[in-house]
Amino acid sequence: MEGGMKLVVKKHDATNTQVREKAKSEIQTILKARHKNVIMLLGSSTAESFLFTVYEYACNGSLDKYLSKESSRPLIWKERKRVVIGLARGLKYLHDNNIVHCNIKPSNILLTHDFNPLIGDYNFGREQELKSYKNKNREDYEYVAPEFQEKGKLSSKADVYSFGVVILELIAGRRTTDFTSEHKSLVEWAKPLLKKKNYSELVDPIIRNSYEEDHLRWMVQVITECLEKNPKKRSSMNMVVSALQGIADSELDHMTDDITPAVSDSRSVPEINGSQGNK
């Protein structure tokens, strides 16, 4: 853009009429979302049989590249905590505004210059594609809540489950695709350790000498409650943010619990030919 601002344009697969109509409605809601941990959706185009969305650019890319075994720059403990707290607050904001993301995973969590997380890449109209979802790759499937897998039930509690998987990845330094010798998934590997409270065995060796034990215990308790199979027993994001508040209060940057109205975000919104709506 003029002035050097970078944008991201994504093309979505939305040839199905039902999906397109549902996506149009969802886009109108997301366009109003303003929170320091939610990526700004700046505009969209639904001309002919296409669906394009325009987002702000995050200079440090997506979280998944920092969790990879091949990463040349793994996150330090403080940065991992920052991602956990920011992601929790961003999801709380979305849920408080009746927005279910449906697609929480590391590749959809963007990082700013100081590694603050931005929730991005909504899968618009996703619930219309539930029947075909099980055929998608296992990496995505690991983030999906049991009730979504089994019965196609979509709610904010499905986001909570996905959030729990992402926190587990951050602590363990393992991706959902990093199978153990027993060919278990990440969650299957972690659950016995969680049950036995062998928390130190969950920790990524890279941060083994830098994490705080009390903060780890709080995070692990949150993971356990987020990964409950029964959604009624699963925490809400309000409960998660409250549970993490002690960690947030101890951070040097004094992050505050942002529950301000949608118009409060300080990031500037560029003009994109009246992009605040569908084209």
Which residues span the domain enclosing 74? Answer: 60-257
Q: What's the total number of domains in the chain?
A: 1
Report yes or no on 137 lying in a domain. yes
Report yes or no on 101 lying in a domain. yes
- In angstroms, the CA 12 to CA 8 distance is 13
Q: For residue 251, what is the domain's CATH number?
A: 1.10.510.10
Report yes or no on 106 lying in a domain. yes
Q: Is residue 83 pLDDT above 70, yes or no?
A: yes
pLDDT in tens, 114-123: 999 999 987 7
pLDDT in tens, 220-268: 999 999 999 999 999 999 999 999 988 887 764 444 444 443 334 456 5
Query: In Å, how far are 45, 92, 133, 226 from 95, measured between CA atoms?
Result: 25, 5, 23, 15
Report yes or no on 129 lying in a domain. yes
Report yes or no on 111 lying in a domain. yes
Report yes or no on 42 lying in a domain. no
pLDDT-derived band at 213, boundaries 50, 70, 90: very high
pLDDT in tens, 136-162: 555 677 899 999 888 877 889 999 999
CB-based contacts of 194: which residues, under 8 Å, 6+ apart? 202, 220, 223, 224, 227
Report yes or no on 169 lying in a domain. yes
Helix axes 156-172 and 213-226, enclosed angle (nearest 10):
140
Report yes or no on 28 lying in a domain. no
